[in-house]
Amino acid sequence: MGTPTQAGTELARFNQLTEPAASAELRAYCDCAVWATRVAAERPYRDVAALASHASAIVNQLGWTEVQEALAGHPRIGERPSGTGRSAELSSAEQSDIDSAETALVDGNHQYEQKFGHVFLIRARGRDAAAVLAELERRLHNDPETERIEVRHQLAEITEGRLREAYR
């Protein structure tokens, strides 16, 4: 992806990791082995923008099986992650403005999972419960293929935001 120029300390450290170590580290930001391997293989990144852009593009190229692998690492919107580690910390921080007791959100999550067979994924950072609920209700009207496109887009946004924060 080019010669590093003005790379931040964290990005410079990341660029120097072995490929397996870099891939393992990336799994906290998007828990998909294929994605992490592809992103790690393209190092060094010249800056965080290049890393985030490339990582987002790869998310949008993933097959549905790989997207489902990544979805397994995300808690239901409004619920706190049950796991520990960096990925759980990120999910908690991203959902800090969402009230888990919101009945409509609980009901909407259930309807969504019944219809699509996976958790409702949305970039929660910067959104309150009302905004998330409005998006959930809108997306419940999607057909499965349209929803898969939206899920990929949301996964890419989440991943890109996490990487920009981590490697700035």
Helical ranges in 42-140 per DSSP H: 48-61, 64-71, 86-94, 103-116, 129-139
Structure pTM?
0.83
Question: Per-residue confidence at 75, pLDDT binned at 50, 70, 90?
Answer: confident
What integer is the mean pLDDT of 40-46? 97
The first and second tokens of residue 62, run together, are: 């993933």
Q: Which of 35, 68, 64, 72 has its CA nearest to residue 163?
A: 35
Do 113 and 79 touch, CB atoms closer than 8 A? no
Domain ranges, ordered by start, for the chain = 9-166
Task: Compute the CA torsion angle 113, 115, 118, 122 (nearest 10 deg).
Answer: -80
pLDDT on residue 126: 86
- Our measurement of the distance from residue 103's CA atom to the centroid of its chain's CA atoms, rounded to an integer in Å, reads 25
The residues near 112 (Cβ < 8 Å, ≥ 6 apart) are 119, 120, 136, 139, 140
* Model confidence at 74: pLDDT above 90: no
Residue type, 164: R
Q: Which of 152, 120, 124 has its CA nearest to residue 136?
A: 120
The architecture that CATH gives domain 9-166 is Orthogonal Bundle (1.10)
What integer is the mean pLDDT of 143-164? 97
Question: Per-residue confidence at 142, pLDDT binned at 50, 70, 90?
Answer: very high
* Model confidence at 105: pLDDT above 70: yes
* Model confidence at 91: pLDDT above 60: no
Question: Per-residue confidence at 168, pLDDT binned at 50, 70, 90?
Answer: confident
